[in-house]
Amino acid sequence: MTATGGAIAGDEQTVAALGEFGLIAALSGWLRGVSPADPRTLVGIGDDAAVLAAPDGRVVASTDFLLEGRHFRRDWSSGADVGHKAAARSLIDVAAMGAVPTGLLVALAAPPDLPVTWARDLTEGLAAECARAGATVVGGDTASAGSVLLATTVLGDLAGRAPVLRSGAAPGDLVAVTGPLGHAAAGLALLKAVPTVSLPALPPAAAGPDPPAWAASLVAAQRRPQPPYDAGPQAADLGATAMIDISDGLLADLGHVALASGVLIDLSSDRLSPGAGLQAAARALHPFFGRTERGSTPAHTQALTWVLTGGEDHALAATFPPRVALPSHWTVIGEVRAGPGNRYSVLVDGQPWAGSAGWDHFA
């Protein structure tokens, strides 16, 4: 085992044995083998920098980190899982602006004993997730570190649209979401709980029977979120007034919209009812819960907490003028009202949320 928990086969080639330039050549070859040519990439991997066409004349850009031990564990996730997750976290930021992702730059720092096969699987995961979003990996860098670190930079094209900012929500607008909420948080809780809960082992290396379908689905959401990339440009075309992806929690991220727009947002818990899988996970993790005086089981409360405050699903939340006809995959969950406009200005059923609103790296 490595110091950070990744399993190493005794005779498996490592990135140290391959060397920096050998690793770069291998990464480049793997990417060329799995990524189709993209006419928007004028100069790709192999030069000092990539050159991408920018038909709109504007480039949308965002950057993100993925740190081993903070965002993933190698004994929980495969290299392909981590590649999908690293790409998804950045690609959805571009979609949340109403733009189409075009290119991804990836800087990889890794321990010398990292298996080459893990790096190959990582590369294939990055490329596959980019393909889901209509983008390609166009370059990057490598370095040595004590654990795996990925820094990603995504570029995107607005295709003539105005960017959808956090600051455009207005009183009377509807608040809607598309994509799952709380699934990744529940999956993380299940991974942390194994083997203390009575479920089959969930990490990929573990032997044993398959987990229940609901548990496998939630854990998959933690390992490989599936953001709704197409919904971002679609929302822009529908007239979205503000938009954000749910990375830190619905309440926390809508708090950014409330602050930037100077409004209050009121959500309806009835429209955010947790699904059967979340309820099952809450019961499995807290089997001793009984019914409360208000008729809501603590398991339901935990499931709703995941929906409201769990991050890493990378669903999209947007505000729309009240007369907009939304496609069926968008669910209206609340409304925008006049209010103080700070990051605490997100209510649930007209009341402040009592607990944490979501993830804070420095809390």
pLDDT band, very low/low/confident/very high, at 12 (cuts 50, 70, 90) = confident
Judge contact between 148 and 114, C-beta under 8 A: yes
| 329-336: average pLDDT | 98
Output the pLDDT for position 297.
Answer: 57
Residue 24 pLDDT exceeds 80: yes
pLDDT band, very low/low/confident/very high, at 300 (cuts 50, 70, 90) = confident
Judge contact between 98 and 164, C-beta under 8 A: yes
Output the pLDDT for position 363.
Answer: 67
Structure tokens at 52: 């991408």
CA distance 137 to 90: 12
Name the average pLDDT for the chain: 89
Output the pLDDT for position 3.
Answer: 34
Output the pLDDT for position 358.
Answer: 78
CA distance 267 to 62: 28
Share of the chain above pLDDT 70, in %: 89
CA distance 276 to 291: 17
Judge contact between 159 and 55, C-beta under 8 A: yes
Residue 147 pLDDT exceeds 70: yes
Residue 296 pLDDT exceeds 80: no
Asked which of 288-292, 309-313, 346-350 is least confident by mean pLDDT, the reply is: 288-292
Structure tokens at 31: 């990417």
This prediction has a pTM of 0.88
Nearest to 322 by CA among 185, 176, 115, 222: 176
Asked which of 100-109, 117-126, 143-152, 211-220 is least confident by mean pLDDT, the reply is: 211-220
